[in-house]
Structure formats: structure tokens, C-alpha cells
Amino acid sequence: MNAPTAHQHLAPAVTQRDVPAEFIAALQARFGTNCATAQAIREQHGRDESAFTHVPPPAAVVFAQCTQDVSDAVALAAQHKVPVIPFGVGSSLEGHLLAVQGGISVDVSRMNKVLSINAEDLTVTVQPGVTRKQLNEEIKSTGLFFPIDPGADASIGGMSATRASGTNAVRYGTMRENVLALEVVTASGEVIRTGTRAKKSAAGYDLTRLMVGSEGTLGVMTEITLRIYPLPEAVSAAICSFPSIEAAVHTTIATIQMGVPIARVELIDNNTIRMVNHYAKLGLAETPMLLMEFHGSPAGVKEQAETVQDIAAEYGGQSFEWATTPEERTRLWTARHNAYFAAIQSKPGCRAISTDTCVPISKLADCLLDSIDEADATGLPYFLVGHVGDGNFHFGYLIDPNNAEECATAEDLNHKLVMRALRLGGTCTGEHGIGLHKMDFLRAETGEGAVDMMRTIKRALDPHNIMNPGKIFSL
């Protein structure tokens, strides 16, 4: 394992490539007012929810209304060898949207139609700008839902591009498992289709899965076919307090190992509960907590809940609170939904540097506990939440972005955490993607050979390196 150096900088290397004036003129001729060059619009498209700063915005923003728009914008960019960065709602945490090599942003947020709902087949086809909440609103009347919930109301295009997951993944899988088929504009502007609406296929290379998680570096998704699921007949939620993180984690491990089909199991540490109590005026016990959700038939949900309650009791879990109505469930989950905002508000002007390691579940306690000790030793404030059923958790180190020492401390903690996760057979990113920040970690995780294979694929499919260049790996 090659150890990347710690203390990576939050101001990434910027290599502005040439954006010819005639290219911008050609875009304006083709797109009229849907090609914007106003400073404010460019700046809005040149940042995301990451902590990265000091990157100049893209030279122009094209608001695509349809696949042909995307195809034409990319074809023009290919002709002039100008970088193209797809943009959904801007909720990336890893700098995916930053124009580190200049170029243009192609905003697909107006491509926000649900194109077809196939309730009988449990599939739906959407444009990339549809957000997950919008999708669930539009399919609600069918009795079906799309479970993937990364927290933010992200676009389906962005979620596909980063292989997102979130709280429901422990039962329903990630975007890897839930994208069935794609329409993609390639780096030359050509429109191709991958996959079908069939639930499974052995037809050639799995281009769908190659595109999912490629972070905009191989093409722009313009249609996405997803699996959807029957709304469970019964849903039951619970919170449970534990004497220690270890007890909460061991409860989770035993639950998964017994094959209980739990739909959500989220950890919040005592420190984060304290922030949430302050922020949302809650009176939760300031001990580590698991938030759980069970989906199924009424009898099935009851059985799952009883099994987990028995397991939790063995590890000292107490103060089980149950909720079965939507309102009560929302109340119980308030702490989880507010964790990020509570943390950010606890330190005015701060930004959160979020970690995203994911380890085999048997290693979860080891990985978490050692990393908590390390973080506590620095005195840097943080929040800690985790999709612990999948072995995935997030520290959010709260830093003043102008304080070099805090930045270095956070980077150092993250570095140690990732190296620990890799030693334990895990990954540097469960769901946020590599982006700008984890390139060295990717090399450490998978080795030069695999990264070279990724580069070879990238060079073959995008010979001028125009699709979101400078992300995932250096070329």
C-alpha cells in the first residue's frame, strides 16, 4: 500500500486550459440565453458543498433542456477541446463540480421530467435533473418509492454519477444496484444507450455500471432508468440509547449477521446528540444512539423489531422509543436529519470536512473507536454519523477554512482514518466519490495497476480529456 502524504491542500491545483472565444460565441449562437456567462451564474456553478476554495468558475454555463442540447454542447466542446462539467443541484461533497481545468458547466437541472413510470415492472425512467424528492412525489400515487436517500435532495444524475447511497442502502442497495439503464452523451457528443428495462442481463460489458460512479469523466447521463419498490405495507422506526459506541456497533453487527432485513440503521455519537439537542431543542439522552427503521408486512416488521430489541438488550441498549406513524417517525429521526446543520451552527463560519470510509462490518468497531480516540485527542470539534449497517460512517471535522492548522489537523485525521480503513479491508469512500480529494487514497486502496486501467479506459473513451478532467485520477 502506498501511503499518500497527509496535509493535502484544500486549494486544489488549477490548470486553466484554453477556452477559445470562438467556442463561447458558437455556444451562444446555438443556445442563446440558455448559455450564460454572467459572473454570478458562473460562480454558482463553480462550487459545491465541499470545502475546496480558490478555484476560478467555469467560463460559461449551458442550461440544457434536452439530450440534443447536451449532445450539441459536448460536440462543440470536443471540437475545441474544452472541458465539460455536468451540473445537477451542486450537492457534491468532493469537489466534483469545480472547474479545476477551466471549461464550461452543462447544467441539466432543467431536464427534470419523469419520462415514464412502469409501475408493473417496478421501474421508472427520468431525466438527470429530477431530484430524489421530486421523484418520490411524482410516483407516490402508484404506491411505489425510490429508496436511495443520500441526505441532500440530490439530482438522480448526480447520485448516479457518484454511485450515491445513504440511509436505506443497507436494505435496498446503492445506485450501483438500482440503475438499470442509461442514455449517455459520450465525449464526442454521440448519444448511446446502455442496459434495458429487464431486471438482469448478461449482454456484453456492463457499461451501465461503468458509467455509474464515473463522476462525469466518461460522459453525461441524459436518461436514467431506475428500480423502484412497493411502499412497505408497514414501517416502524425506533431509537435506542447505548452505554457506548461499541455497544451500538455490536448490536448493528449482530443484526446484520443474523440476516434481519433492517431498512435503516444509523449511528449518532453522544457528541453529535449534544449539538442536536442544542440546535433543535431536543432532550435526548447524550449517549450514543441507533436510529432504526423496519419495512415489511405488519407481522414481519414486528418480528424484526423484536429480534433487534433482544440483541440491543444484550449490549445494554435502553430507552427504546417506537414510532409507526409518519409524524412520529419524523420526530424520532429529527436528530439524524439535523446532525449536519446542528454541527455547522455549533461553530460559526466553519465548514465540515467529511470522511466517508466504509469497512467490512466485522471491522467497524475497531475502525470507529480508534478514530474517535484520535479525533478526541486533537480537540478539533466534529460530528459523527454512520450508515453502520453497511460499515460506512462519516466524521465531519469542523474547521475554520482560513485556519491552516485546523485544516491540517482535519486532513491528518482523515488520512489516518482512511489508512486504517484500508488496512481493515475497506474503502476510502462508501458513497461520496473520489473527486478532487481522494485521488491518492484511491491509489493506496486499489493499487497503481487498477488506477492505470481506469486511466486507460478514460483515455480511450475521452481522448481529449474533456469530460470533467482532473477528477478521480490525474492523467
Identify residues 250-279 at the interface with a copy of itself (CB under 8 A). 253, 256-259, 261
User: 178 with 148: CB under 8 angstroms?
Assistant: yes
d(Cα 80, Cα 15) in Å, to the nearest integer?
Answer: 17
**Smallest Cα–Cα separation from 181: which of 207, 155, 162, 159?**
207
- Tally the C-alpha atoms within 13 A of residue 39's C-alpha that lie toward its C-beta: 0
Residue closer to a copy of itself by CB (options 293, 431) is: 431
Residue closer to a copy of itself by CB (options 136, 270) is: 136
Confirm or reject binding of residue 432 to a copy of itself (CB under 8 A). Answer: yes
Question: Least distance from C-beta 246 to a copy of itself, angstroms?
Answer: 15
- Kindly indicate which of the ranges 6-14, 103-111, 249-257, 406-414 contains the residues binding a copy of itself, using the contact rule CB under 8 A: 249-257
198-217 positions binding a copy of itself, by CB under 8 A: 198-207, 209-210, 212-214
173-202 positions binding a copy of itself, by CB under 8 A: 173-174, 176-177, 186, 190-202
Angle subtended at Cα 178 by Cα 176 and Cα 180, rounded to the nearest 5 degrees? 95
Residue closer to a copy of itself by CB (options 57, 469) is: 469
Question: Least distance from C-beta 242 to a copy of itself, angstroms?
Answer: 20
Question: Least distance from C-beta 418 to a copy of itself, angstroms?
Answer: 11
- Kindly indicate which of the ranges 53-61, 107-115, 240-248, 419-427 contains the residues binding a copy of itself, using the contact rule CB under 8 A: 419-427
Question: Least distance from C-beta 206 to a copy of itself, angstroms?
Answer: 5
Taking CA atoms, 296 is separated from 8, 168, 445, in Å, by 46, 14, 37
- Kindly indicate which of the ranges 21-29, 82-90, 268-276, 428-436 contains the residues binding a copy of itself, using the contact rule CB under 8 A: 428-436
Strands (E), 28-69: 35-36, 60-63
135-164 positions binding a copy of itself, by CB under 8 A: 162-164
User: Of residues 20, 243, 349, 360, which one binds a copy of itself by CB under 8 A?
Assistant: 360
User: Of residues 3, 13, 54, 230, which one binds a copy of itself by CB under 8 A?
Assistant: 230
With a CB cutoff of 8 Å and minimum separation 6, the contacts of 107 are: 45, 61, 62, 63, 64, 87
SS3 content of the chain, % helix, strand, coil (to 5): 40, 20, 40
Rounded to the nearest 10 degrees, the angle between the axes of helix 298-314 and helix 245-257 is: 140
Grid cell of 196 as nine digits:
434495458
User: 240 with 320: CB under 8 angstroms?
Assistant: yes
User: Of residues 121, 246, 328, 370, which one binds a copy of itself by CB under 8 A?
Assistant: 121
